[in-house]
Amino acid sequence: MAGAQWEKEMSDTKVYLLDGGSLVLDGYHVFWNRGPGGEVRFPVYSILIEHREGRFLIDTGYDYDHVMKVLPFEKPQQTKDQTIPGALKLLGLEPKDIGVVVNSHFHFDHCGGNKFFPHAKKICHRLEVAQAANCQPFEHLGYSDLTFSVEAAEARGQGEQIRHGQTRANTTFEGIDGDVELAKGVKLIFTPGHSIGHYSLLVEFGTRRPILFTIDAAYTQKSLETLCQASFHIDPVAGVASMRKVRKLAEDHDAELMYSHDMENFLTYNTGTKFYG
């Protein structure tokens, strides 16, 4: 589409980052086989896109009680304002105002708040629910919060843990494949490796440079610069290819890169009522 019309259709897109608190990992997990070791506290956040075609939420952070129960060694810090309902409330929104929830993948720090959106349409890669339901032994901690899917929870004998009025029907996902344009200028970029069906996210605006959210294809800026992925992955060779794909896309689109778990950069990001667009 030609410039002026395209810019007009995109000029009202706004992106809000919902601060979801923080967790701790050892440096050798953040930077696989490279380190240095020692505690690294990193942010977790979700991405709200206000778009002409609807309100899209990408990821839903972690559930504090889940982390305290299953991974207390990740030392969660999450205030009330950093829960999903709390972060939405800062913007004058409630969970029911969200039309579409997209999960980049189903690690517990990206799907812990899904339970608040039984009414929303849900989208993920077509392989990701089945992987969470029947994961590799080394993926068990990553896929430990199954409250996003009654189907996945039942498959792992945790059906009774589903709360907030969820059913099979209202936790059913539309499965997608490859790169997909979710709405005009909002593109899901298939970046497998970290997980089997992992997605990064490219958002274009009428008013400013695009933003490319690496999500967990690159936890930090240093991760992408050194092609050093996290120690959690299903296919590390695919993970390196995905990092190269992200780099190329950012260059081709002159996109600003934003990382999922990079505290130093996160502290410079707009959060709360401050948005992009």
**Strand order from edge to edge, sheet including 180-183:** 180-183, 186-190, 199-203, 211-213, 256-258
Among 216, 239, 257, 271, contact with Zn ion (rule: CB under 5 A)? 216
Among 43, 142, 185, 192, contact with ligand 5PN (rule: CB under 6 A)? 142
Strands 121-125 and 100-102: parallel
Give yes or no: 179 in active site: no
For the segment 65-94, give every residue that binds ligand 5PN (CB under 6 A): 74
Binding mask 205-234 for ligand 5PN (x = CB under 6 A): ---------------------------x--
**Strand order from edge to edge, sheet including 100-102:** 14-26, 39-51, 54-58, 100-102, 121-125, 174-176
Asked if residue 59 binds Zn ion (CB under 5 A), the reply is no
Report H helices in 52-210.
64-70, 84-89, 108-111, 128-133, 150-155
| DSSP symbols for 50-63 | EETTEEEEE-----
Among 59, 109, 151, 204, contact with ligand 5PN (rule: CB under 6 A)? 109
Of 19, 59, 63, 109, which one is the catalytic site residue? 109
Asked if residue 107 binds ligand 5PN (CB under 6 A), the reply is yes
Catalytic residues, by residue number, are: 109
Task: Please give the residue ranges that form the binding site for ligand 5PN (CB under 6 A).
Answer: 23, 25, 74, 107, 109, 141-142, 232
Task: Please give the residue ranges that form the binding site for Zn ion (CB under 5 A).
Answer: 107, 109, 216
